[in-house]
Amino acid sequence: MKVLVIGANGQVGKHIVQKLKDGEHQPVAMVRNSDQIPQFEELNVQTVIGDLEKDFESAFHGVDAVIFAAGSGADTGADKTILIDQEGAIKAVDRAKHFGVYRFVMLSSMAADRPHLGTDGIKHYLYAKHRADEYLKSSGVPYTIVRPGSLTNEPGIGKVRLQDHINDFGEIPREDVAETIVHLLSSPRAENKSFDLISGEQPLEEALG
């Protein structure tokens, strides 16, 4: 499938692009500025310029599926969290619906399904993710929502806990998040499902069923 990766220049996004390419898919990397293009061209990966705060509809032409891995980051204020993580994601779902994609995979966050449990510093972020996830679920677009725990830059270990809900909090390498997302993208079992995800004992292929 031709897969649009929104947030392709991000730390998880880059792993996703590489893993799509290593597998059976053709990634299309959506980036915000032209300086970010050469690194993908070197990989022979198609790029498209798109900013979630502007009109990015053209990015969706000819794509079969979408992975949303963008986010405003921890250094911006609540305004950007709402504009990118919430409204940007909602706009992306609308475009995906318009273009009739096969699957929309949302990189969300652990506890986004229980935003009221967040501490004051993170509550707005969890509510933004929650709102985007709920919008996707009710959109009619076939979806998979992945809610990882804290992301690390350790190399992937390929062993995860992937469950509807996990009560313990935990960490997971960004590489394993990317690997999981790419597997779930074309898994019929993952259609219209949401998962919490942290590192665990189960080999990824087993966890995915």
Q: Where are the alpha helices (DSSP H) in the chain?
A: 11-22, 38-42, 78-80, 89-99, 120-137, 174-185, 204-208
Q: Number of C-alpha atoms within 13 angstroms, CB side, residue 55? A: 2
Supply the minimum distance, in Å, between the C-beta of residue 186 and ligand NAP.
Answer: 21
Which span (4-12, 58-66, 179-187, 196-204) binds ligand NAP, by CB under 6 A?
4-12
Q: What angle do CA 181, 185, 190 make, to 5 degrees?
A: 95
Closest CA to 59 of 96, 15, 84, 85: 96
Nearer to ligand NAP, 148 or 156 (CB): 148
With beta carbons less than 8 A apart as the criterion, state whether 46 and 29 touch.
yes
Give the number of C-alpha atoms closer than 13 A to the C-alpha of residue 42, restricted to the C-beta side: 6
Q: How far is the CB of 180 from ligand NAP (least distance, A)?
A: 13
Q: Say which residues have a Cβ less than 8 Å from residue 74's Cβ, sequence separation at least 6.
A: none
Instruction: Report the distance separating Cα 93 and Cα 139, nearest Å.
Output: 7
Q: Which of 4, 5, 48, 69 binds ligand NAP (CB under 6 A)?
A: 69
**Interface with ligand NAP, residue 32, by CB under 6 A:** yes
The residue within the footprint of ligand NAP, chosen from 71, 115, 118, 200 (CB under 6 A), is 71
8 Å CB contact between 31 and 25 = no
55 binds ligand NAP (CB under 6 A): no
**Contacting ligand NAP within 77-116 (CB under 6 A):** 84-85, 88, 107, 109
Is 125 in the active site? yes
Per rule CB under 6 A, is residue 123 in the interface with ligand NAP? no
- Residue list 169-208, contact with ligand NAP (CB under 6 A): none
Structure-block tokens of residue 94 = 């609308």
Give 74 or 188: the residue with its C-beta nearer to ligand NAP.
Answer: 74
Q: Quick one: which of 19, 60, 65, 72 contacts ligand NAP (CB under 6 A)?
A: 72
Residue 9 touches ligand NAP, criterion: CB under 6 A: yes
What's the token pair of residue 171? 């960490």
Among residues 125, 127, 135, 143, the one annotated as catalytic is: 125
Tell me how far, at minimum, the Cβ of 130 lies from ligand NAP, in Å.
12
If binding is defined by CB under 6 A, does position 156 make contact with ligand NAP? no
Q: Which residues are catalytic?
A: 125
